[in-house]
Structure 1
Amino acid sequence: MKDLAYLNKFFYKYRWRLVPGIIFVIISNIFGVLPAQVVRIAFDLVTENISIYRLFNGFNRQELIYQIFGYSLLLFGATVLLLALLRGIFLFFMRQTIILMSRHIEYDLKNEIYQHYQDLSMSFYRRNNTGDLMNRATEDVSRVRMYVGPAIMYAINTVVLFILVIVFMVNVNLKLALYSILPLPILALTIYKVHNTINLRSERIQQQLSKLSGFVQETFSGVRVIKAYGREDEIRNKFAGESEEYKKTSLDLVQVQALFYPSMLLLIGLSTIITIYIGGIEVMNGTITSGNIAEFIVYVNQLMFPVMSLGWVTSLVQRAAASQKRINEFLNTSPEIVSAESSKLDVKGHIKFENVSFVYPDTGIKALDDISFEVKPGEFLAIIGRTGSGKSTIANLLLRMYDVTSGNIFVDGKPIKRLDIRQYRSQIGFVPQEVFLFSDTISNNIAFGRNKTDKEEVEQAAKEAAVYDNIIQFEHGFDTLVGERGITLSGGQKQRISIARALIKKPQILILDDCLSAVDTKTEEEILSRLGKNMSEKTSIIIAHRVSTIKNADKILVLEDGKIAEQGSHQQLMAKRGVYLNLYEKQLLEEQEPLG
């Protein structure tokens, strides 16, 4: 239960629903056990009235006795119905308090998990797949809700009903009560034995479900590649294999439960047999009446529900504990990137890297090695280099997706770690190498860059990104739905919409991470020309593979194996006749080859 202890704060928060719910449980069970006494009185009355009826055989009074007997039975029947009605009313109130409380807790827990996911660093998402993250926030939370709702409700109901029934039984006859509950310790031992088995197998089920969800999510995301390579049959077979594994783990749990529930019913049936046998002996001894036996049978049958629900509740609790343990694993994961205290921040765009080195924590790969450079407000910095040279890592460090391994990054003279992350990032426009568009309209994807925008601002941003003409050619224009991850658009269109999303923020620092690779040279020149006008007094950083993209930059960094091989303007680097010149000449030859 130590994993489920995390939920105690929610029970305290919703105590004004939980406490009345417990009261309603107690009242409903009082009305639940009272009919047994009515049955006992009615049973004894029947026995007595039959004797009296026979005694007055041949007398006129016999008919009167028969009528009184009939009215009495009708009265007892009406009483039982009234008690059942009252119990039903309080059971309704019980569900309206405890079950509704569980829905509120489910809502709070999902929001807490989602908020925590957003606070976690990029390295966390590199270590965990999307399907597992989704499963913990949906399926696992649903199982936890079954604990805070139905399991809690039935557990309280079971305990209260069990205590009431035992008290009533002892008050009637202690000896008969002891014999009737004799099989219950065996039942408790059985529950204890299967306790760990249910817990272990529940954990396996959740782990396999996460694996299955991750596999499905990944295949749906990469469905274009799967179809292009004609691998549908292979993927289908892999899915069948994962499903088979999930089926096996689920059946393992079902097998335990299949033995568990019949065992409980057998023990309850044994209690009934013992009650009738010992009760009969007590009636013959004159210590109890035959009505007491009927009363005890009702009590024993009422114990059937607590005992049966005990097994079900145990299963729910164990599955919830397994799920909450998985949830706690992520909730107990601390963000590696911690924001400084919120304070007003007005970014100017002065950036300085001072002896910065960085090693990716998950892979141990050293991406940057003793990097130092400076960008002043209004300057245009370009970064070029081969694949894996560390270009995108600089962008990630500037956005503080990661913290440097050694060295310092300064923004406007302040260490980046001392800046409020939200305010800092709100003044940066970033276009990633892997463009991501939401499954929404083009207009909403562009407007995502700002909290409040109007149609004119969206259109202007599209013009600055040289994508306006493409958008208006669509049937629905800016209201066109782009599909999941922008699948309905071409690579160049997605890149330009992503650029428009960054530009609409009117950022003080603009970072373009190789986001012009899918556009032609003419469009690229148009975009860069517009950027030059809009970012004239702001800092621009562009990461690229093509020299033609960056030749007009104020400063160019040439990276090689995580180090700065060269830096300077286009003319200065050409004059050095080093790495930059080799890249330039190589790309020039590649562009001329098709023409030959």
Structure 2
Amino acid sequence: MGQTPFKKVKKPERLLSYWAAQWPLCLLITITGFLYNFGMLVSPYFEGRIVDSIEAQQPFNDVLILLAIFIGSILAVLLARIAKRYTVRRFANNTSVTMRLILENNLLHKKSQDGNDSTGTTLSKMISDVDATVEGMRKLTTEIFDTVIMFIFYIAYLFLFDVTMTLYVLIPVFVAVLVAFIMRKAIFSASSQARKANGKLTSATYDLFDNAITYRIYGRDQDHLKEYDGLLGEYEKKNVKASALTDMMIPLANIIALVGLVPLFILGPSKVASSAPLSAPIPGIMNANWTLGAFTSYLTTFVLMASKASKTAKLFGSIEKGLASWKRIKPLIKPYAPYETPVTVAKDDELVIKDFSLTIDGKTLISHLNLTAKRGQIIGITGPIASGKSAFTKVFSKALPYEGSVSLFGKELSDYSPSELAGTTITMPHKNELFTDTIEHNISLGGSEPVAPYLERVSFTEDLATMPLKEQTLVGNEGIKLSGGQQERLCLARTLYERKPLLILDDPFASVDPKTEAEIVTHLREDCGDSLVLLVSHRLSSFAGLDQVIVLDPEKGPEVGSHESLLKSSPLYHSLYLLQQSGGSSHE
């Protein structure tokens, strides 16, 4: 019952599927819901019985027994309510987790994503839309019993007393429900505007946090603060309007519903005074005629029903908001696609590239590249800005199409399945990605193998000695507590921790000094003898010890050879190397 059913939802694009996937829980909700709502008639019924007992001057012990039965019945009703609320909340929590997991799964499987929204807006939409959808589902699940079924029980109970008077008192109640239904659009519109303002404010908050130093350096901090204050003011106004409409609707509907007290107090007392017969009393349970107790029971039931009618405004608002949120996330909801177990391709040890070409948006970056390399080698890749270095590495994750042939360990790269790519290749991207966690968890990602050997291989031992908590040191938000070089080396250590037959390192030494770079390259040579390493770098100081070097020359085309041969045959490589050796600026 408690297992999150994200793999059991067969058609996640249909809301009913989430109820169907949790049918045992929904069955418990139905049972406890009926028990609770039927039990809600206990209070008005026993209040009337007690009033009649006192008025009839029955023995004190009889009244005490009746009171004890009343209290026991109330406790049973409360237990049913606790059980219902627990099961409904369990359903909502399971549904929320399920939707998030399915949504995350589909976004990760999505090959291309809409990049128009900023980080703040995207996060706000994703999180709040799922929450709003689930809240609407929770409200609907709850109110099917607490409003619809309860209304049926209340109305049926009132009809037992007097059909005509009940029809009169119900008119304002239904008007209150109708007003709440009509007002739902205005309430939703105001809430939607407040939500959009919140999205803008969230985006601006991220922007101020991420770029505060840059704005201050260039004297733009005060201007951005003024813009932020404007967004804050807009959010406050729209949020106040939305809250006012939402909060006003409940007491307004309550006042309208309570107008039903007018015909009740006009017709009810005369029926008590004349001991008029009830319309359909239940023999042995209800008195046959109107009494003060019967009037008390009728009045209590009506007030409870009127109060419940006023809550329908909130119900309609939650459902409206939930449906609108569902429409936004529905295009991203697809059946859960589990990730397959990684499979390592090892038909042979070679990477063979023949007549390789790479074109992006009509521009050819690389043409007629030929290369043969094998596991145990380190291949350097360099070239000017926008020469296709990073694009070339993306080919190995099948993020970009190519022409020609790329045979990776005996199988054409284009024929690799996602599970084969996951088991055969691993990439250290150009941009460092660190979590707000410890050094250990940033490397192991929850793995059980010690991280110390990998920190040693990236020459992090001396840095670690200065940190009192060692591997348990928190790196801060996105590694902000570490230097750029330290961040790069931790990302490299993570890549080595998950080493695969093909290691792709995209500019791992951009912020590392030459001495440390040389040490790391030596470790790579010693410890990665069973892997082929593609090392992208604009710094050529350590390329002398590599097996081969690919120079991506946009004008002449790619050149392949050893460091020594390229110094003689490639003017571009020769000029770049001399420029760096003389201490000049790098080309990137």
Q: Which residue of 2 aligns with 1:100?
A: 90
1:266 pairs with 2:255 = yes
| Contact 2:391/2:400 (8 A) holds in 1 | no
Cα distance in 2 for residues equivalent to 1:201 and 1:375: 64
- 1:398 counterpart (389, 396, 399): 396
Shift of 1:159: 1.1
Cα distance in 2 for residues equivalent to 1:328 and 1:488: 39
Q: Which residue of 2 aligns with 1:350?
A: 351
- 1:518 counterpart (503, 511, 521): 511
Structure 2 counterpart of 1:436, which letter?
E
Structure 2 matches for 1:163-312, cutoff 5 A? 163-223=152-212, 225=214, 232-280=221-269, 286=276, 289=290, 291=292, 292-312=294-314
- 1:466 counterpart (459, 462, 480): 459
Structure 1 counterpart of 2:319, which letter?
V
- 2:35 counterpart (18, 27, 33): 27
CA RMSD between the two structures:
3.8
- Deviation larger for 345-354 or 154-163: 345-354
Q: Which residue of 2 aligns with 1:58?
A: none
Shift of 1:26: 1.8
Cα distance in 1 for residues equivalent to 2:108 and 2:53: 70
Q: Which residue of 1 aligns with 2:536?
A: 543
Structure 2 matches for 1:298-377, cutoff 5 A? 298-332=300-334, 343=343, 345-346=345-346, 348-352=349-353, 355-359=356-360, 366=363, 368=365, 370=367, 372-377=369-374
Shift of 1:70: 5.7
Provide the secondary structure at the position in 1 that maps to 2:552.
strand
| Contact 1:370/1:563 (8 A) holds in 2 | no
Q: Which residue of 2 aligns with 1:155?
A: 144
Q: Compared with structure 1, are the counterparts of its residues 181 and 574 closer, same or farther at alpha carbon in structure 2 (3 Å cutoff)?
A: same
Shift of 1:179: 0.8
1:387 pairs with 2:380 = no
Cα distance in 1 for residues equivalent to 2:123 and 2:63: 59
TM-score, reference length from structure 2: 0.82
Cα distance in 2 for residues equivalent to 1:331 and 1:367: 36
Q: Compared with structure 1, are the counterparts of its residues 294 and 193 closer, same or farther at alpha carbon in structure 2 (3 Å cutoff)?
A: same
Q: Compared with structure 1, are the counterparts of its residues 493 and 294 closer, same or farther at alpha carbon in structure 2 (3 Å cutoff)?
A: closer
Cα distance in 2 for residues equivalent to 1:118 and 1:389: 28
Structure 1 counterpart of 2:101, which letter?
N
Structure 1 counterpart of 2:386, which letter?
G
Q: Compared with structure 1, are the counterparts of its residues 333 and 27 closer, same or farther at alpha carbon in structure 2 (3 Å cutoff)?
A: closer
Cα distance in 2 for residues equivalent to 1:43 and 1:463: 84
Cα distance in 1 for residues equivalent to 2:62 and 2:467: 83
Cα distance in 1 for residues equivalent to 2:585 and 2:165: 102
Q: Compared with structure 1, are the counterparts of its residues 245 and 372 closer, same or farther at alpha carbon in structure 2 (3 Å cutoff)?
A: farther
**C-alpha distance after superposition, 1:295-327 (max 9, x if no partner):** 432222121232122122222222333333344
Q: Compared with structure 1, are the counterparts of its residues 539 and 177 closer, same or farther at alpha carbon in structure 2 (3 Å cutoff)?
A: same
Unaligned runs of 5+ in 1: 50-65
**C-alpha distance after superposition, 1:441-482 (max 9, x if no partner):** 33443444x94423xxx4433333233233334334444332
1:495 pairs with 2:495 = no
| Contact 2:99/2:130 (8 A) holds in 1 | yes
Provide the secondary structure at the position in 1 that maps to 2:584.
helix
Cα distance in 2 for residues equivalent to 1:212 and 1:322: 21
Structure 2 matches for 1:441-480, cutoff 5 A? 441-448=438-445, 451-454=447-450, 458-480=451-473
Q: Compared with structure 1, are the counterparts of its residues 306 and 353 closer, same or farther at alpha carbon in structure 2 (3 Å cutoff)?
A: farther
Provide the secondary structure at the position in 2 that maps to 1:433.
coil
Over the matched positions of the two proteins, sequence identity in percent amounts to: 19
Q: Compared with structure 1, are the counterparts of its residues 485 and 178 closer, same or farther at alpha carbon in structure 2 (3 Å cutoff)?
A: same
**C-alpha distance after superposition, 1:401-434 (max 9, x if no partner):** x131766644234233432434433443433222
Unaligned runs of 5+ in 2: 1-10, 279-289
Shift of 1:20: 2.3
Shift of 1:234: 4.3
| Contact 1:208/1:246 (8 A) holds in 2 | yes
Cα distance in 1 for residues equivalent to 2:301 and 2:472: 67
| Contact 1:187/1:264 (8 A) holds in 2 | yes
Cα distance in 2 for residues equivalent to 1:349 and 1:425: 18
Q: Compared with structure 1, are the counterparts of its residues 554 and 86 closer, same or farther at alpha carbon in structure 2 (3 Å cutoff)?
A: closer
Q: Compared with structure 1, are the counterparts of its residues 128 and 353 closer, same or farther at alpha carbon in structure 2 (3 Å cutoff)?
A: farther
Shift of 1:163: 0.3
